[in-house]
């Protein structure tokens, strides 16, 4: 059982690393492989196939570990159903939003000199507004599903190795969630969502405090959303708003 629990930390770190890697790197690979396809476009084709399976693997492994420990408890069954609903809707939104973004973002590069045209305005709407809100909404719903299932996983102790995996994973996930929302102009959704996620994780944490043990993945999500809130606040205050990194010439 201890071996199964240790594997959860690896799968969770793998999910966080994959999320950061495939959400940040494509934006930096701007060189064209073959017109009009950039290196970022090519890598971005893989994104849903890398991120979603790892999120599901972590969920299913956690679910399996909980079932072997706690058995068929009615309360746990209800939480499993809730987590599955959030994950299912989140996966659908993630794939839909990512697909819209991948295509419309590629087209947007071709109409940069047509900013007064209806074609540019339509492309911009789908690229910078619709796709990001659906896509980032999917990320948040997936996080909620994982928070719910994580609230049931507790242990008596945790090794330093696993603490490091969780800490690095929290930084990767929280940082990526924030910077992508800033560059994707979805701060109006992502900032409040980070606050809601933090409050949900905090509520579930205090609700479970009657049981003696540690809730490593729930604490992880507390760290993720707290880091995101701090980064949003720092960026907004320092720039009197939320300008994109590309507007400031950072990328």
The DSSP annotation for 55-115 comes to HHHHHHHHHHHHHHHH-S-HHHHHHHHHHHHHHHHHHHHHHHHHHHHHHHHHHHHHTTT-T
In the chain, what percentage of residues exceed pLDDT 70?
92
Give the least confident one: 18-22, 201-205, 232-236, 244-248: 244-248
Round to whole Å and give the CA distance between 103 and 101: 6
Q: Dump the DSSP string for 6-53.
A: HHHHHHHHHHHHHHHHHHHHHHH--SEEETTEEHHHHHHTTHHHHHHH
Report residue 73's pLDDT band, with 50, 70 and 90 as the boundaries.
Answer: low
Q: How far is CA 179 from the centre of its chain?
A: 11
What is the band of 206 on the pLDDT scale with cuts at 50, 70, 90? Answer: confident
pLDDT value of position 3: 46
**Is pLDDT at 211 greater than 70 in this prediction?**
no
Domain ranges of the chain: 2-239
What's the mean pLDDT in 34-51? 88
Predicted local distance difference test score (pLDDT) of residue 134:
95
Lowest mean pLDDT among 101-110, 160-169, 197-206: 101-110
pLDDT band per the 50, 70, 90 thresholds, residue 1:
very low
CA angle, 167 then 168 then 169, to 5°: 90
pLDDT of residue 81: 86
In what helix (H) or strand (E) does residue 33 lie, and over which residues does it extend?
A: strand 32-34
Residue with tokens 């789908």: 126
């Amino acid at each position: 059982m201890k071996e199964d629990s240790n594997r959860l930390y690896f799968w969770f770190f793998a999910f966080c690393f994959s999320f950061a890697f495939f959400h940040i790197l494509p934006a930096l690979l701007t060189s064209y492989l073959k017109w009009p396809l950039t290196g970022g476009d090519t890598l971005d084709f893989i994104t849903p196939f890398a991120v979603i399976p790892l999120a599901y693997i972590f969920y299913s492994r956690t679910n399996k570990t909980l079932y072997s420990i706690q058995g068929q408890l009615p309360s746990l069954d209800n939480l499993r159903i809730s987590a599955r609903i959030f994950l299912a809707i989140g996966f659908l939104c993630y794939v839909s939003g990512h697909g819209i973004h991948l295509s419309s973002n590629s087209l947007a590069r071709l109409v940069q000199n047509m900013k007064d045209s209806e074609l540019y305005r339509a492309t911009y709407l789908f690229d910078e507004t619709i796709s990001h809100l659906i896509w980032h909404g999917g990320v948040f719903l997936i996080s909620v599903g994982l928070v719910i299932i994580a609230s049931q996983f507790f242990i008596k102790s945790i090794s330093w190795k696993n603490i490091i995996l969780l800490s690095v994973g929290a930084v990767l996930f929280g940082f990526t969630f924030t910077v992508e929302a800033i560059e994707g102009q979805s701060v109006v959704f992502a900032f409040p969502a980070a606050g809601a996620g933090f409050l949900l994780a905090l509520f579930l944490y205090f609700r479970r405090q009657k049981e003696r043990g540690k809730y490593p993945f729930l604490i992880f999500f507390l760290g993720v959303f707290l880091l995101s809130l701090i980064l949003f606040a720092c960026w907004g205050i320092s720039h009197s708003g939320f300008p994109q990194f590309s507007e400031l010439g950072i990328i």
